[in-house]
Amino acid sequence: MMNKAQATDNHEKLDSRVETKTRGTREYADSANLNWANSLQYLKFNNSSGEKPARDANVLLYLINHGWSRANIDWDGEFRGSSGRSWANEASESLQPTLQILGAGVAGIAAAQNLTQAKITDFLIVEHNDYIGGRLRSQQFGRNAKTGKPYTIELGANWVEGIGSLETHENPIWKLAQKHGLKTTYADYDALKTFDHNDAKNWTDKIAELDEAFENASGESGEILLDNLQDLSARAGLRTGGWRPDKNDMYAQAANWWGWDFEAAWTPDESGLVFGVAGDNATFGYFSDISNLVIDQRGYNYFLKQEAKTFLKENDPRLLLKTTVEGIEYNKKGVKVTTKDGGCIEASYAICTFSLGVLQKDVVEFKPKLPHWKQSAIDQFAMGTYTKIFMQFNESFWDTDAQYQLYADPIERGRYPLFQPLNGKGFLEGSNIIFATVTGEQAYQVERQTDEETEAQVVEVLQSMYPDKKVHKPTAFTYPRWSTEPWAYGSYSNWPVGMTLEKHQNIRANVQRLWFAGEACSTEFFGFVHGGYIEGREIGHRIGRIINGEAGDDEFDMERYEVLHGTTHKDEYNDENGWLFPYDVDGEN
């Protein structure tokens, strides 16, 4: 652990090192005339020999810690900061900040901001993409007929879920959205219209039946949680609550998708009841049941970029964009990260904010491998895929008053089940944009198809929903492929059947000086933007207290459960419990 005294001592050593550093015939500085606060003239190369000075990462880190940005540092204009290559690839030795934050999404930026507020600025943020925001990802799309400019749409997160109130609690993302004037529109889930393959058809009675069953299942889940009983699947919980539709009742299947998959991006068969309900209550009960759709033409991630500006200067070299992490080596002394471009960053601590999907893949090599208790928890948690398919037409042939238009396919559950117009009142009026949503297996199928195949299928469904209209080919069409994005491998996490609180805690727990944050780490708010934000600030706070010398590493280690037992003792594997196989559980026969 580095305490304040050690940090001061390190800076004093670096001061001395900088004061005596020479390159060629030009001395950078001396103790008599170097004024770090007012002048950089000694750092500018002025040598008649034309020899370039060797880059020294520690010198740059010193400058950064004293308030200088890359724009102020002129070493022949070649030292790369936020331009896309890691510093270590340019430097004569690996970078050695106190902390590195892997990922510039919501969790990473929240952690960095919290650390800055704790007077800790000696960190690097390493980001694969060329922007801040992660899965807050917007894109230019279509064309505004009046201005000739494209619209901004959200490929990733799109809502501020559970905005909260002064009477309950305010969602931190909503507070930030208001702070930065983010334009949003109330998501009215009652502004709903239902269809089948022939036309509009009212099957909202199925939705009402599902809602009643969900209320019953919620009560059941509360008893399971409080009495420490075994969890159920959400499907089993709904059955217990009275929801037992026929498999060929496609209206009921569409209602079930709307009531569960739309939020979880997984089916109720695959989802755990207790924490599925608890997560729902945490957001929509603790905050509020009001959600707003973000339609700001600066992009949803605008608020995050603005928050980043409170501690990152323009072209701040502590932000390494377009830098892909390939390896993470950790121990009790620190964390070493290697990047795709051959760079190396060594730090006392690291916060890994990679998505659950990335952690479930072998795209980043951990040395040593993550311990079994942690990796098995990561592997068991679920990463969902939620795909929005955007279309712009020459004209709007749909009902613009219905924010949510549900389609019950006669054959496949979850086949293009939802369409949302974006040209209704308070949205992108006059845009003629509508988007469809698919999740789970349907999302994977869409990702495997070409855009042309998907477009033809969606147009066919829209034509069946509006048989009296002629649905033409859209003028603009696009959708993301989240499960194949090498920096995401999915949209957001979900709590699966059989996942316990203790096992989920193993996802959150640090491994020596390698820490983890992100929406999947949030026990209460997994899958939500505010989950990533809250976890990022929490981990930033913990590490900040360690770096500031308030306690040692061990005192702030997060709870972990290296051995998790089941509920059945081996003596209970007997014929009275139906265990009739001719071998014992000790494996002797």
Length of the chain: 589
**Residues 134, 450, 418: CA angle, nearest 5 degrees:** 65
- Residue 513 is predicted with a pLDDT of 97
pLDDT surpassing 70 at residue 45: no
- % of the chain exceeding 70 in pLDDT: 83
* Residue 544 three-state SS: helix
- Residue 379 is predicted with a pLDDT of 98
Residue 529's closest CA among 361, 206, 293? 293
Residue 332 pLDDT level (bands cut at 50, 70, 90)? very high
Residue 36 tokens, joined: 């770090």
What is the tens place of the pLDDT at every residue in 115-156? 999 999 999 999 999 999 999 999 999 999 999 999 999 999
Nearest-angstrom CA–CA distance, 220 and 241: 8
Express the helix, strand and coil content of the chain in percent, nearest 5 each. Answer: 35, 15, 50
Asked if 278 and 524 touch (Cβ cutoff 8 Å), the reply is yes
Asked if 145 and 423 touch (Cβ cutoff 8 Å), the reply is no
pLDDT surpassing 90 at residue 4: no
- Residue 62 is predicted with a pLDDT of 41
Q: Is 351 left (phi over 0), alpha (psi -120 to 50) or beta?
A: beta
Residues near 537 by beta carbon (within 8 Å), at least 6 away in sequence: 110, 111, 113, 114
- Residue 583 is predicted with a pLDDT of 55
Containing 192, the helix (H) or strand (E) segment is: strand 192-195
Count CB neighbours of 524 within 10 A.
15
DSSP-derived pairing of the beta strands 123-126 and 349-352 = unpaired
- Residue 114 is predicted with a pLDDT of 98
Q: Strand runs (DSSP E) across 197-334, as ranges?
A: 292-294, 319-320, 325-330
What is the tens place of the pLDDT at every residue in 459-512? 999 999 999 999 999 999 999 999 999 999 999 999 999 999 999 999 999 999
- Residue 566 is predicted with a pLDDT of 87
pLDDT surpassing 80 at residue 318: yes
Q: Which of 90, 127, 154, 161 is catalytic?
A: 161
Mean pLDDT across the stretch 390-418? 98
Handedness of CA 299, 303, 306, 308 (dihedral sign): negative
- Residue 573 is predicted with a pLDDT of 80
Count CB neighbours of 282 within 10 A.
20
Nearest-angstrom CA–CA distance, 402 and 419: 10
Among 40-49, 259-268, 470-479, the range scoring the smallest mean pLDDT is 40-49
This prediction's pTM: 0.84
Asked if 237 and 282 touch (Cβ cutoff 8 Å), the reply is no
Asked if 355 and 383 touch (Cβ cutoff 8 Å), the reply is yes
Domains recognised in the chain with CATH numbers: 1-51 (no CATH), 54-134+318-384+490-542 (3.50.50.60)
pLDDT surpassing 90 at residue 7: no
326 given a catalytic annotation: no
Mean pLDDT of the chain: 86
- Residue 582 is predicted with a pLDDT of 56
Q: Angle of helix 172-179 relative to helix 529-547, nearest 10 degrees?
A: 90
